[in-house]
Chain A
Amino acid sequence: MKKVQLRIWRQRSQNDAGKFSEHNVDYEDDMSLLEVLDILAESLIKKGEEPFVYDFDCREGICGSCGLVINGVPHGPLKGTTTCQLHMRHFNGIASITLEPWRAAAFPLIRDLVVDRSAYDKIMSAGGYISVDTGGTPDANCLPISKTHADKAFDYAACIGCGACVAACKNSAAHLFVGAKLAQYAVLPQGQPERLRRVIAMTEKMDELGFGTCSNEGECEAVCPKEIKTEVIAMMNRDYIKAMLFGA
C-alpha cells in the first residue's frame, strides 16, 4: 500500500461556500482513481459521515458521466483519457491530488464534484440532429459516402459530451462540443439540407446559455478525452459566416 493525500472540493450547493477537505488514503497502483474515491467514500459512510458526491457510470471512458479537474487539469495527467480510466500508477507516486468540479457559469454546481450539464442537452435539442422521422427512409446503400468522409464524421461524432473542453477554457466556451456535432453532420450528405440552419440554431443557443467565446487557445483540444481537434471550430465559424451572409 502507498499513501496519497486527496484534497476534495466540498460544496453543499451553488449558493453555499465551498472548501477543500483533506484525506490521507492508502492505495495500490492498479486501483483506478475512482476506486480510491469509492473506498474513501465508503469509509466516510462507515463513520456515519455523508460522503462527497461524484458522477460516474460506465467506467469505460465512453458515457461521459465522470469528469474531475485533477491537479488543475480536466480529466488529469494522461492524454486522451477520461477520469474513470485513470489508474493510480499514472500519478507516479505523487504526494497530493486535488480534485475539483468543472467550473463554468453554464454548468452550475449541484454538489461537491457534481455539476449540471443540462445546457449541453439544450444545445442539442436546439438543432443537433438531422430532421428525420422513424420509417420511410431509403435503403442505407442508396447514399454512397466516401470512406474519408465517413471516417471524419466518426472522428467528430466520438465526442462523449463530458464538458472537459468547457472546463479547460478560460472563457468557458463550448465551441469544441458544438463544433464537433456540427462537423459530423457537415461532412455527411444527410446533414446538408439543414446545415446552415443548424449552425445558427446551435450557436445561438450556446450563447444564450452563458458559454463564452472562443479565443483560440486550444486548451479544449488538449484535454479532450476523445482528442477532437479544433478544426471543428474553424468549420463551425466558416459555416456561421456563410449562414450570416447568405441566410440559413
Chain B
Amino acid sequence: MILDGKVPSGPLAEKWDLHKFNMKLVSPANRRKYDVIVVGTGLAGASAAASLGEMGYNVKAFTILDSPRRSHSIAAQGGINAAKNYKNDGDSVYRLFYDTIKGGDYRAREANVYRLAQVSVNIIDQCVAQGVPFAREYGGMLENRSFGGAQVSRTFYARGATGQQLLLGAYSVLMRQVQKKSVELHTRTELLDIVVIEGRARGIIARDLLTGELSRHTADAVLLCTGGYANLYYLSTNAGNSNVTAAWRATKRGAFFGNPCYVQIHPTCIPMSGEHQAKLTLMSESLRNDGRVWVPKETGDPRRADKIPEEDRDYYLERRYPTFGNLVPRDVASRNAKMVCDEGRGVGPSKLAVYLDFTDSMNRLGVDVIKDRYGNLFDMYERITGEDPYTVPMRIYPAPHYAMGGLWVDYNLMTTIPGLFCLGEANFSDHGANRLGASALMQGLADGYFVAPYTTANYLASTPKKPITTSHPAFDEAEKEVVERMTRLLAVKGSKTVTEFHRQLGKLMWDKVGISRNESDLGQALIEIKALREEFWKDVKIVGKAEDLNRDLEHAMRVADYLEFAEMLATDAKNRRESCGSHLRDENVTEDGEALRNDQDFAYVAAWEFKGVGVEPVMHKEPLTFENVEMKQRNYK
C-alpha cells in the first residue's frame, strides 16, 4: 500500500495557511461536547492539553509520573531553534526548513518541516509570554547561540536547562486549565491499551500505578504524546520511566510505525563504568566547541593521557574532517568514536571511551573562560566520575539518545487509526534520519501548541458524533486482554529478573543494531530477539500482584513491549540497505568509510504494519518527493 501523507496542495510556503483555512472548525459552544484524551505530559502533551482546554474541549491528561512537571522533556539542556533572525545573520523560515531537511539526510516530509519552521517563531513568543526566563543580552533583547548543523545563531536557551524552563512553562498553563476544570489530570496512571471502535480511536484502558486498579476512559479523539524509545537499549540518556508502551499498543491496534530504525546516538555521553549502571548521562554537545577529541595512535597504549606526547595522539576528527573538525554532526562523531574503539585505541578502564580534551582551550582562553562556559557540566562530570576535567581530559562515548522514528502520522499528525493522533518525539515526522540539536523542543511545542489543536478540531468537526459508553464490548475486550497479559506475566514465576532481560536486550541491540549495522548482524539480531522474548515469557520472575503498587510488574510490561518492538526495529534496519543519517549500514559506505545514501531505492518512509508477535511486519511506503530542495550527499570533509 502506498501511504498518503495528506500534504495539502499549493506552494510550500502557503500550504499551512491554506490548510488552516480549509480545515473545519468546532464552534465555541460545541467544544465542551467533545472529549479529548492526551496521554503524556511532556512538552507536546502539556502544550496540547492546555491549548485544547483553553479552546473549550473536555480534556483528560494522563502521566505515569507523579506530576506533569517531571516529564523527560525537562532534561533537555541546550536550547530551542526558531527562525526569528534576531541576529540579522541571514536566517529565515526557509533556511531553518532547509537545514532541518538536510540535517535529516533528506528522509523527512518537506511540508511538515516547512510548517515546523514557520511556527517556530510563535513558540518563542508564547514561551516569553508565559514567563520562561530565556537568556538575555544587556540591552534586554533575547540572546541566541549557534548549534550543530547550522551557520546562523538561532538557538534560544535558558542556561543549560532550556527543556526544564520550557516544560515548566507548558506545565504552568496546563495547571491553569486544571484549575479551570477544563483539563482533568490523572497522575501516576499508565495507558495499557487503546480502544478502537468502528475503526476509530474511542478511548483508553489505564492502570493506576498506586493501586493497580484499571479504569476505562472514552473520548472522541486520543493524542499520544508519550516520547521516544531509546530505553530499548537499556543504557541510554533517557529517564528510567521512558518507554515505548503507548506507541506499541497503538501499533498492535493498527497504527503503522514509521522508520523505527532511526535512533540518534549522541556522541558526548559519560562512558559506562560497570555492569551496575542504570543510565548514561549526556554532556551537552556544546562542549565540542572548545574540546578536542583524541585517542592514542597506538592500540593498547597504557600511558596516562598527560604522559602521551602530542606526536603519539590522533585527533581523528580534525584529521579526517579538516573543515568541520570536532564539530561534525552527531551521527558522524558517534560513528568515528566507535571506529577508533573497535580498533583497540579506546581509553579508560573499559577501553570504550575517547578523550575530550580542553587543555588547548584553557591555555588559549584561560581556565576562567572555560569555567564560565561549561562550569556546571564540568561539575556534573566530576560528581559522576570523580575525575577533575580541568586537569584530566574528559572521557566520552556515544549513547542512544533520541528516536527519530515513531508512529507514522499524516500532515495532520493523525496515525493510520482515525482519531488517534501522535505528537512530539513519539511520532516519526520532522527529523528524517537524524535530528539536529535544539530541534526536539521546537517540534514538541510546535505540535502541541500550534498544530494539533487545529487538526484535532478538523477531525472532530468532520466526524459524525456517536456517543459511546465504557460498557461497550470493545472496552470489555481491551480490558480483558490487559488483565490476561498481567496474569500471564505474573504466572511465569521464572528465575531471571526483568532487569536482567532488559539489560540483555539492550546489549544485543547495541551490539547488532547500534551505531553501525550490517546484514549478517541484523539477521542474527532477529533470531536472538525472538529467542530472548521466548525465554522472557518462560523464565521471568516478577514479585507482587497486579492489584497493587508494583514497580516490577510495570517494568515487566514495558520490557515485554520492547521485546516485541525490537523485532520491528531490526527488520526496518535490515530492509534499509543504505546509510542515511543515524542509520549506517557497513555495506553502504564510500571508499573512505563515509555514509552512502541510496536515493534511487530508499527515498521513502517505511511504515510498518503489525501482523502478530513473531510474524514479520508488512511495510508500506510513503514516497518522499523533494520539490523544493535538491538531494545532496552530505560532506563535512
Contact = CB atoms under 8 A, between A and B. Distances in A.
Interface of A: 28-32, 34-36, 38-39, 42, 44-46, 48-51, 53, 55-65, 78, 81, 85, 87, 89-90, 110-111, 116-118, 120-121, 124-126, 128-135, 137-141, 143-147, 150-151, 153-154, 157-158, 160-161, 184-185, 188, 190-191
A150 B173 contact: no
B543 A51 contact: yes
A117 B188 CA distance: 12
Contacts of B75: 58, 60, 62-63
A90 B176 CA distance: 41
A137 B125 contact: yes
B137 A118 contact: no
B74 A140 contact: no
Contact of A134 (B72, B138, B281, B450): B450
A38 B241 CA distance: 14
A89 B138 CA distance: 41
B274 A28 contact: yes
Contacts of A31: 273-274, 276
23 contacts: A34-B278, A35-B276, A38-B278, A48-B541, A48-B543, A57-B240, A59-B240, A60-B281, A63-B74, A65-B65, A111-B549, A121-B69, A121-B187, A135-B126, A135-B450, A140-B84, A141-B142, A144-B139, A145-B140, A154-B159, A185-B131, A190-B129, A190-B131
A59 B131 contact: no
B469 interface: no
Interface string B461-503: 0000000000000000000000000000000000001111000
A86 to B, nearest CB: 8
A184 to B, nearest CB: 7
Contact of B131 (A38, A62, A87, A188): A188
B168 interface: yes
Contacts of A46: 497, 541
A151 B450 CA distance: 28
A45 B122 CA distance: 50
Interface in B495-528: 497-500
Contacts of A120: 67
Interface string B167-202: 010011101101100000101000000000000000
B400 to A, nearest CB: 15
Given A57-B70, A121-B67, 17 more contacts: A28-B274, A44-B543, A50-B544, A57-B240, A58-B240, A121-B68, A121-B178, A125-B176, A132-B173, A137-B125, A141-B141, A141-B142, A147-B140, A154-B158, A184-B131, A185-B131, A190-B129
B47 to A, nearest CB: 7
B138 A146 contact: yes
A62 B84 CA distance: 28
A188 B134 CA distance: 11
Interface string B47-66: 10011001000000000011
Nearest to B496: A46
Interface string B82-100: 0010100000000000000
- Size category of the B interface is 35 or more
Interface stretch (B313-321, B382-390, B612-620): B382-390
A63 B65 CA distance: 10
Nearest to A156: B133
Contact of B279 (A29, A49, A59, A140): A59
B175 A125 contact: yes
A143 B128 contact: yes
A158 B163 CA distance: 11
Contacts of A150: 133-136
B248 interface: no
A138 B551 CA distance: 46
Given A30-B274, A31-B274, A134-B50, A147 B133 contact: no
Given A140-B142, A161-B69, A125 B239 contact: no
B133 A118 contact: no
Contacts of B54: 133-134
Contacts of B453: 134
**Among A59, A63, A137, which residue has the most Cβ atoms of chain B within 10 A?**
A63
Nearest to B54: A133
A178 B490 CA distance: 43
B18 interface: no
B9 interface: no
B577 to A, nearest CB: 37
B436 interface: no
B552 A59 contact: no
A128 to B, nearest CB: 6
> What are the 4 tightest A-B residue pairs by CB atom distance, in nearest-first order?
A144-B140, A129-B172, A153-B133, A150-B136
